[in-house]
Amino acid sequence: MALPRAPQQFGAPSRSAEAPLRIGIVGNTRYADLRGALAETARLAAAHGWSLAGGEALAELSPVPLLPFDPTQIDLLLTLGGDGTLLRGARQLNHHEVPILGVNFGRVGFLTAIARDGVAEALTTVAAGGHRLSPRSVLLASVRDQAGVRLSERSALNDVVLHKGGVARVVRFQVMVDGEPMGPVSADGLVVASPTGSTAYSLSAGGPVVVPTIDAMVVTPICPHSLGMRPIVTRGDSVIRVEPLEPRAADLLVSFDGQDTAPLGAGCALEVRPAPWRVILVRFGEPAFFPRLREKLHWGDLSDRGV
């Protein structure tokens, strides 16, 4: 029996504790202890009858053979690394709403659920149904030509960013929200973020923090060349259209979660809308977004830390 596909924001999923887990693994090979984490996971899998799947890079580090990675044949995705590894894993699920258990090997790990030393306990808890699922909205971005033909399309859990390629220069573009012009913008770029991504690039660019359960999008200019242009929070089902304006409409790139890019050619436009699927993050205990802000981003009054 698999973990339920229907997201449950609070409470444990109704899953039989006897059902063996089918675990897919995505890892960052730059971390020295990845081999140790794979060995620990393999020992647990052997003890509980779980199956493990992963790509070729992980197969070379794993002490046991891994099944081919297929998002349709796993119940849980285990990401070993940091937020970037979790984002990469979400993309490899290819729209399938498989719960993701993120393990933090790095510094911040805002999206991950546990630290490196909690792998065994977390997997045992998930197998017993003692976790909860946190669904997160996903952005679907497309590049379209002047005739409206879709040239490329990609998804992003955090953000979609329009920026200049090559030499850093000001970009000028028109932004429309559901067909209504927000106005021309001169800036170093533009971030369209999901609530989950509001604490990433958008926050660094001066955007607001949005609680991830809110249905919204954030449109944040990067270093706008006007005091009259500030971040905007729109409805979660909005369609954001960005049209570059001459004479600075050449050599533009669109980045997706900071990991993948696509060119935005002359005369083309970028459209961002909500995806029809969600990314499901595994969480433990009661919801704790604001404590996470304080712990990971040092949010709020820091007098208790001697600051």
Q: Which of 33, 70, 83, 178 is catalytic?
A: 83
Torsion angles phi and psi, residue 88, rounded to 5: -65, -40
Q: Are 135 and 193 in contact (CB under 8 A)?
A: no
Hey, what long-range contacts does 197-202 have (CB within 8 A, 24 or more apart)?
Answer: 197/139, 197/156, 197/157, 197/158, 197/159, 197/257, 199/110, 199/293, 199/297, 200/83, 200/110, 200/158, 200/159, 201/158, 201/159, 201/161, 201/258, 202/159, 202/231
Tokens 């081999």 -> residue: 35
Active site includes 83? yes
Measured distance CA(105)–CA(95) in Å, rounded: 25
Beta-carbon neighbour count of residue 249 at 10 Å? Answer: 17
The four Cα atoms 72, 75, 80, 84 give a dihedral, to 10 degrees, of: 60
- Both tokens of residue 56? 């070729």
Measured distance CA(282)–CA(226) in Å, rounded: 41
Active site residues: 83
